[in-house]
């Protein structure tokens, strides 16, 4: 079996080339080793809660030879996936679901009379997710599971809320455990067992003070810990105890995010997820180091959003900002620093965040919810029930909308348009450039109803200009903002006109009617799912978007080429249709 240091170097070497989720996986290496030692990975069920801590697990379960393909098209996924290996019990891309999935598996094992172990590896920030608490509430009725609580005192950013403080008190309770064990040893050495046993009442009071009434035991779990999460022997010993227990067990493992790579230990947020080229691997075999700082690059869409929101908040003290453990990823660092009392990080609890925003809006504030598209999926019910029905002025700034590439199926932001387009009272828009994003945010905050502003991952162009339209265009190419530059070039080649679908709902129906009356064929290009998407809304004659299947990981150019969203394929498809012909009803 690989050693912890060998695993960390392999992870660092691969991420240096391919990019990936670094700090989390570095911090969970010993947990993966202990699991591989104490369980049969192909038989027992090991469920990882957010798989970006599971790189070591891939290396230890038969995928070392393919590890260099991590996150590349056709290679290993960046997250656990049963389709990739029988050692991956479940898909793991979103936080907070491992306990529920593991309980379902344990219940099935009990009903089928099987004797496999079921283990859930969750994080301190994942455990505050509402689904995790629902699982705890149901745990006693389901079956035995073993939970490893990987407590690194971090989400992507520093964790928020009372639960992290509670776990801190449990760690402080290690002093109580040491004192209790010392008392037991002294009593046995002197054959004074009564000294330990008679202290039961006093011990209970001390335990309640140190361990906050042993929260987990109220749900039927035996609590073990805190355990040093970087001590394989200690972890294995705790797992042996857990396996022997008849009831469910929680092992509280305290780890350091970024363990073994000094820059990630110092700033785990900055090293949570990194692109290629951030790490240098010396040829002489010495320790990997951070690459030299590159020159400042153009701002991302997240940066532009954060700056624009701060500027508007200076003028309007009703503006508040919310995030679900993603302050840095969504561009809210400056807002949080400048408007501390108007910033809310609710932890990884998207459903609560949206309902909370509804409460803020109902009392006259202007909440702005910053969330990745893939995570907004987790709160669609609250968008409908708590915001849209009452037409409350909540602004949803949906980051990473569209294809995200190497993060793969669990993170592709392709479904926000179909999921939200059907909701009454809700406006959906998408900017074409940085200036347009600032303008749309200003418009949304002045509207007395909910608005969704979606924008992609990556750099935001300062200004996108459209090509001149011909005198008598035969084709109108309607495109979402991030596809607009491509659409403009395609339209110019096809002798058509480009339309920026700035508002996807409500769209410019009057313009669409005029173009149809003029005999134009309507083409749609969107960075979203075709089924239920924008092209379907406008009844486009030829629609280009992502097909009705889950899109795997790979680079964006590779995936666009594979699925026919590259410029050459779209141009050729339009050119094949004679001006007088009826175009097909769908593209990709």
Which residues are catalytic, by number?
A: 257, 350, 378
- Give every CB contact of residue 197 below 8 A, 6+ residues apart in sequence: none
- C-beta atoms surrounding 163 within 10 Å: 17
Tokens of residue 271, six digits? 């090293």
Instruction: Concatenate the DSSP letters of all residues of 235-273 into one string.
Output: HHHHHHHHHH-SS-EEEEEE--TTTT-HHHHH-TTTTSE
- 250-270: buried (b, 16+ CB within 10 Å) or exposed (e) per residue? bbbbbbbbbbbbebbbeebbb
Closest CA to 30 of 50, 9, 8, 15: 8
Q: Directed axis angle between helix 29-38 and helix 232-244, to 10°?
A: 40
- Comparing CA positions, the residue from 285, 337, 270, 281 lying closest to residue 309 is 337
Q: In the numeric block, which tokens belong to residue 327?
A: 């302050």
* Residues whose CB falls within 8 Å of the CB of residue 201, separated by 6 or more in sequence, listed in order: none
Burial of 199 (0-12, 13-18, 19+ CB in 10 A): middle
Burial call 374-399: b when 16+ CB within 10 Å, e when fewer? bbbebbbebbbebbbeeebbbbbbbb
Residue 526 three-state SS: strand
Reference 230, options 257, 208, 261, 269; nearest CA is 257
Query: What is the SS3 assignment for 497?
Result: strand
Give the whole-angstrom CA distance, residue 358 versus residue 360.
5
Q: How far apart are CA 483 and CA 565, in angstroms?
A: 10
Query: Which residue do the tokens 């105890």 mark?
Result: 241
């Amino acid at each position: 079996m690989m050693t912890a240091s060998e695993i960390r170097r392999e992870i660092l070497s691969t991420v240096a080339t391919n990019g990936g989720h670094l700090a989390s996986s570095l911090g969970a290496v010993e947990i993966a080793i202990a699991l591989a030692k104490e369980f049969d990975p192909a038989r027992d069920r090991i469920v990882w809660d957010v798989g970006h801590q599971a790189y070591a697990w891939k290396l230890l379960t038969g995928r070392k030879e393919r590890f260099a393909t991590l996150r590349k098209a056709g290679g290993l996924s960046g997250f656990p996936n049963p389709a990739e290996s029988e050692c991956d019990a479940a898909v793991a891309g979103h936080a907070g679901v491992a306990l529920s999935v593991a309980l379902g598996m344990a219940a099935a094992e009990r009903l089928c009379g099987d004797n496999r172990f079921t283990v859930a590896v969750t994080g301190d920030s994942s455990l505050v997710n509402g689904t995790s608490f629902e699982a705890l509430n149901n745990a006693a009725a389901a079956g035995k599971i073993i939970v490893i609580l990987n407590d690194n005192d971090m989400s992507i950013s520093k964790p928020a809320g009372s639960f992290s403080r509670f776990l801190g008190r449990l760690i402080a309770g290690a002093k109580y455990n040491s004192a209790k064990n010392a008392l037991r040893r002294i009593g046995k050495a002197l054959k004074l067992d009564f000294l330990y046993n008679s202290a039961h009442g006093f011990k209970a009071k001390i335990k309640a003070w140190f361990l906050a009434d042993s929260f987990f035991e109220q749900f039927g779990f035996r609590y073990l810990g805190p355990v040093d999460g970087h001590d394989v022997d200690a972890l294995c010993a705790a797992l042996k105890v857990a396996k022997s227990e008849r009831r469910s067990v929680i092992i509280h493992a305290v780890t350091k995010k970024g363990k073994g790579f000094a820059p990630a230990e110092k700033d785990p947020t900055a090293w949570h997820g990194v692109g290629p080229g951030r790490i240098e691997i010396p040829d002489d075999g010495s320790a990997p180091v951070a690459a030299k700082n590159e020159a400042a690059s153009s701002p991302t869409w997240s940066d532009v959003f954060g700056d624009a929101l701060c500027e508007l908040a200076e003028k309007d003290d009703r503006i508040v900002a919310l995030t679900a453990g993603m302050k840095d990823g969504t561009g809210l660092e400056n807002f949080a620093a400048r408007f501390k009392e108007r910033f809310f990080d609710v932890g990884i609890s998207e459903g609560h965040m949206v309902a909370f925003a509804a409460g803020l809006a109902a009392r006259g504030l202007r909440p702005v919810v910053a969330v990745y598209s893939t995570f907004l999926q987790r709160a669609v019910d609250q968008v409908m029930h708590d915001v849209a029905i009452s037409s409350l002025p909540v602004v949803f700034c949906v980051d990473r909308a569209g294809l995200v590439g190497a993060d793969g199926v669990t993170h592709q932001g392709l479904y926000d348009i179909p999921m939200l387009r059907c909701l009454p009272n809700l406006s959906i828009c998408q900017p074409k450039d940085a200036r347009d994003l600032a303008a749309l945010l200003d418009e949304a905050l002045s509207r007395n109803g909910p608005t969704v502003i979606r924008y992609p991952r990556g750099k935001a162009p300062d200004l996108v200009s459209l090509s001149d339209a011909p005198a008598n265009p035969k084709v109108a190419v309607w495109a979402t903002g991030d596809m607009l530059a491509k659409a403009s070039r395609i339209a110019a080649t096809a002798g058509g006109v480009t339309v920026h679908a700035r508002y996807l709902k409500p769209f410019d129906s009057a313009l669409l009617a005029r173009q149809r009356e003029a005999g134009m064929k309507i083409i749609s290009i969107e960075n979203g799912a075709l089924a239920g998407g924008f092209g379907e809304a406008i009844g486009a004659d030829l629609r280009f978007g992502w097909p009705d299947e889950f899109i795997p990981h790979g680079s964006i150019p590779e995936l666009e080429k594979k699925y026919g969203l590259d410029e050459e394929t779209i141009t050729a498809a339009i050119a094949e249709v004679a001006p007088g012909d009826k175009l097909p009803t769908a593209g990709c």
